Amino acid sequence: MPGSPEIRVLDSVGAVACEAFARVVSAAESAIKKRGRFRLCVSGGKTPEALYRALSDEKTAPALPFEKVELFMADERRVPPSDPRSNARLLREALLRGPFARAHFHPLDGANPDPQAAALDYEMLLRHRLGPEGFDLLILGMGPDGHTASLFPHSPALWERSRFVLPVAAPTTVEPRVDRLTLTPLGVLNCERLLVLVCGEDKAEALTRLRAEDGDDAETPVRLVRRFHGVASVLCDRAAAGIVAGP
């Protein structure tokens, strides 16, 4: 039943990364057992970096058949792949290392001068690589303004009804203010399991809006996960949950 996602409040950013690590491994094992491959789609941003490093570090990486992992992107900034703002660059530096380098990476092409063509190419790739169940696991983040992937408040992409991927204009409220390519709500909901990682006190207000029974999805795009038919989980630290540290 769609509705409020499971919310797990964990003690720290590190504990969020640990729990996310366990969820990734369990989703990977079950997808590989069921379908012989694991299609993981991930977001950019700072929050998932510790998770990515733990998954790819020789000392901590799980014992998975990484050649059966396909890695997709939920969004990308329209910058060259070498730009520090590129999500593909973050993934190459933090995740696609060590044993994880054996995974098949499907980057969104932020350097393509024609964003419509780049979005359409990725759309075709997704339609070709994904079965009716969609991604086996999608990991999202959430901005302080309630955006997720690159679906910003009041973006026309929020009302898209047929496409999985679209180009969108640069946000006006958060950095980096560059144009993006993003999964649409249809693309986000096309998955078997959904995990949202939320850390930091600047996220507390948006998290309250996500949890509220009633609210405006255009104002708080991450609320679209409430329409998900499978299990959506939010892993957050105490700061994001609004729990103030004691004296």
Residues that bind ligand 6PG (CB under 6 A): 43-47, 74-75, 87, 141-143, 147-149
Nearer to ligand 6PG among residue 9 and residue 149 (C-beta): 149
Q: Which is nearer to ligand 6PG, 43 or 155 (CB)?
A: 43
d(CA 141, CA 45): 7
Minimal distance, residue 173 CB to ligand 6PG, in Å = 11
In this structure, how many other beta carbons lie within 10 angstroms of the beta carbon of residue 51? 24
Q: Could you check whether the bond before residue 176 is cis, i.e. omega within 30 degrees of 0? A: yes
Nearer to ligand 6PG, 32 or 186 (CB): 186
CA distances from 53 to 17, 90, 165, 192 (A): 10, 10, 27, 24
- Alpha-carbon span 2 to 36, nearest angstrom: 28
In the complex, the smallest distance separating the C-beta of residue 37 from ligand 6PG, rounded to whole angstroms, is: 23
Q: Using the minimum distance from each CB to ligand 6PG, give the nearer residue, 9 or 90.
A: 90
> Smallest gap, in angstroms, from Cβ of residue 177 to ligand 6PG?
11
User: What backbone torsions phi and psi does residue 130 show, to the nearest 5 degrees?
Assistant: -100, 140
Q: How far is the CB of 67 from ligand 6PG (least distance, A)?
A: 26
Are the beta carbons of 89 and 121 closer than 8 angstroms? no
Is the separation of the CB atoms in 126 and 164 below 8 Å?
Answer: yes
Looking at beta carbons only, is 34 or 46 nearer to ligand 6PG? 46
Could you tell me the smallest distance in angstroms from the CB atom of residue 147 to ligand 6PG? 6
